[in-house]
Amino acid sequence: MSVRIAAGQKPIYTDIDPLFTRSPKTGDLLTVRDDSAIRTSLRNLLATAFGERLFQPHIGGSLRPLLFEPIDAITTMEIRDRILNTIARHEPRVSRVLVDVIAQPNENSYTVNVEYSIRPLGKIDRVTVVLERVR
Residue 9 DSSP class: S
CATH of domain 2-132: 3.10.450.40
Domain extents in the chain: 2-132
- The per-residue pLDDT for range 27-79, each reduced to its tens digit, is 999 888 888 899 999 999 999 998 888 898 889 888 999 999 999 999 999 99
Beta bridge partners of 131: 110
Say which residues have a Cβ less than 8 Å from residue 43's Cβ, sequence separation at least 6.
127, 129
Q: Which pTM was predicted?
A: 0.83
List of residues 6+ apart from 70 with CB closer than 8 A:
none
